[in-house]
Structure 1
Amino acid sequence: MRYIRYACIAIFAVALIAVALANRGMVTLKLLPGEIAGLFAVAPTIELPLFVVIFGGIIAGLLVGFVWEWMREHAIRAENARNAREKRRLEREVKRLKSEKHEGKDEVLALLDEAS
């Protein structure tokens, strides 16, 4: 199974390298459209290889998706935390009640009763 995983990673790496080599051309990225940049008298631009733009877009999309999913699951995580706290509280209560039940009894009989 480990070799299959390594083979998939190698194929993915070769594909990424091929995309990067095929898209080495420089492109100009503009922060604002030309009309709006003229109004503000600012035209911030940057020149990057196309593969950097492609991979940056993929990474930005993944990050937005991860954050979106993390926020969406907040209610589920909060409910799980509440359930875990309730479970710990109930376990402590059961342990306390068992110790009160066997308070005046013989230790061996109390251990046998707890095991059943």
Structure 2
Amino acid sequence: MRLIRYLFLVLLAICLVVVATANLDPVSVTLLPGELATYSGVQFTAEVPLYVVGFGGMLLGLLIGFFWEWLRESKHRTDASRRRREAARMQRELDRLQAEKRRNDGHDDVLALIEKGSSTR
């Protein structure tokens, strides 16, 4: 399975390099549309190869998707954290009760009361 994964990654890298070399022509990337740029006073333009625009768009999409998923799953992380704290609290309570039972050397309070009640008759 590891070999298949490495083979897939090598083929993907080759495809990306081929796409990048086929799209080396420079393009002009502008931050804001013309009217908005003159109105806001921010006018940024860069000349970059076309593959940088494509790969940058894919990378930006991935980052936005990861962030969106992290936000969406926050309620599940909160719930899991709450359950871990509750389980730890219950484990401490169980340990305390087991230690108390060992301290009583197997004497059960309920049985002691029953024995006491039957011995008075």
When the two structures are superposed, what TM-score results if normalisation uses the length of structure 1?
0.85
Partner of 1:47: 47
Shift of 1:39: 3.3
Deviations for 1:4-56, whole angstroms, at most 9, x for unmatched residues? 11100011001100110111110000112122233345531000000011111
User: Partners of 1:82 and 1:5 in 2: how far apart?
Assistant: 37
The answer on 1:98 being equivalent to 2:103 is no
Give the total of aligned pairs. 106
Partner of 2:76: 76
Alignment of 1:52-63 (within 5 A): 52-63=52-63
The answer on 1:15 being equivalent to 2:15 is yes
Partner of 1:87: 87
Amino acid at match of 2:101: K
User: Partners of 2:38 and 2:105 in 1: how far apart?
Assistant: 90
User: Partners of 2:40 and 2:101 in 1: how far apart?
Assistant: 80
Query: Which structure has the larger Rg over C-alpha atoms?
Result: 2
Indicate the percent of aligned positions where both proteins have the same amino acid.
46
Amino acid at match of 1:97: L
Partner of 2:36: 36
**TM-aligned CA distance change 1:26 to 1:85, over 3 Å:** same
Task: Give structure 2 stretches of 5+ with no counterpart.
Answer: 107-121
Deviations for 1:29-86, whole angstroms, at most 9, x for unmatched residues? 0112122233345531000000011111000000000000000000000000000000
Task: Give structure 1 stretches of 5+ with no counterpart.
Answer: 107-116
